[in-house]
Amino acid sequence: MSYYISGLVARTDGAPPTVEELRRPEVGPGQVRVRVRAAGVCHSDLSMINGTLRPPHPLVLGHEAAGEVVEVGEHVTRAAVGDHVVLNWQPPCRSCWFCEHGQPWLCSTSSGVAALENGMTLDGAPVHVCLGLGAFAQQVVAPENAVIAVPKELDLELAALLGCAVLTGSGAVRNTANVQPGESVVVIGLGGVGLSVVTAARAAGAAQVIAVDVSEAKKGLAEAAGATDFLVSSEALSKEVRVRTEGRGADHAIECVGRASTIRAAWRATRRGGQVTVVGMGSADDMVQLAALDVFSSARTLRASVYGQADPDVAVPALARDVLDGKLSLDHLITDRIGLADVPAAFDRMARGEGARSIVRL
């Protein structure tokens, strides 16, 4: 086995990442080595280089991925060589207060970790990995609780989506918003996560799923995901939503962008007593302003959904089974299949609002 691997490395904020050769990290006790086969290009990866987040550099990007276990360290019990696994970028420790109180998605050990040191550059400098994984690389070394086994008959390109976009989107609908049959849902932002929200809302029995994006080109993707209506985002969005919801506004608005302006738009598009769920991860200095009287009189609920408020060890295998059983279709989410060197161009498409998920084949 080679002592070197290729990975997509960001050196400084704003500069395009490049493919570099890296020294392969060793596998320690309780760790596994995964040969990455497919990785999704997520907006959180873009946030690592566009200034929204400020992780340490050099940084191997990527966190939504699936692959095959090729080596296990001592004392590993939940993975074996040959297993097909989905990578979990926020693995719960199972022993902190949040984990012990049924909120593993808020684990105090893994939550909020933008990057960890793992491996070296060819000149011996330490390299960091995005969200503890650095999945835009041929191999990943991670703790065993960061891998979740899935059936080998599941296409690894689809399996990769389960680790972030699908788990986040479906969890926001099922766990956070708890969408009920017959309700109306507005989904703002139609990237991989937003389209997953659309699909999950329809599967939950929502009578109306109003998909919203800045790009008219997303209409076809929205319809393929199950949207009943499509709107191009504008200042008149709340009025257009009310026209489609008997003048009230939607029962739910799920925001998948992570900007103050779209959070306010979601708030205004929701009926009195409705629920606003924020899925998008924004920057620390983008402040959301709501009038105190509006907060009181509208009686709306504003909540965040972190990693779909899901326990990945339970939810990912269940989603995998739904895909294999034909209950959950994900093919419409993949709009491009690319190599590592093509990721910067995928970031550009993402910034322009084009496509859904680009899948990196490794």
Instruction: Convert the pLDDT of each residue in 60-117 to its tens digit.
Output: 999 999 999 999 999 999 999 999 999 999 999 999 999 999 999 999 998 878 889 9
Q: Are residues 76 and 122 in the same domain?
A: yes
State how beta strands 126-130 and 301-304 pair: unpaired
Looking at the structure, tell me whether residues 23 and 74 fall in a common domain: yes
C-beta neighbour count of 297 within 10 angstroms:
10
The CATH code of the domain that includes 214 is: 3.40.50.720
265 and 141: one domain? no
For residue 181, the 8-state DSSP code is T
Same domain as 126, residue 36: yes
Task: Compute the residue count for the chain.
Answer: 362
What predicted TM-score, i.e. pTM, was given to this entire model?
Answer: 0.93
Same domain, 40 and 76: yes
In 189-311 the beta strands, taken as DSSP E runs, fall at 208-213, 229-232, 250-255, 270-278, 301-304
CATH code of residue 126: 3.90.180.10
Number of domain units in the chain: 2
- Asked if 112 and 171 sit in the same domain, the reply is no
Both 60 and 32 in one domain: the answer is: yes
SS3 83: coil
Residue range 149-195, pLDDT digits in tens: 999 999 999 999 999 999 999 999 999 999 999 999 999 999 999 99
In a domain, 155, yes or no: no
**Which residues are bridge partners to 21 per DSSP?**
6
334 & 223 share domain:
no
Peptide bond preceding 58 in cis form (omega within 30 of 0): yes
- What is the arithmetic mean of pLDDT over 126-152? 96
Q: Which domain holds residue 293?
A: 166-307
Q: Which residues contact 29 (CB under 8 A, 6 or more apart)?
A: 73, 74, 75, 76
Within a domain: 55 = yes
The answer on 241 and 354 residing in a single domain is no
* C-beta separation of 108 from 92 below 8 A: no
* Burial group, residue 250, by CB count within 10 angstroms (0-12, 13-18, 19+): buried
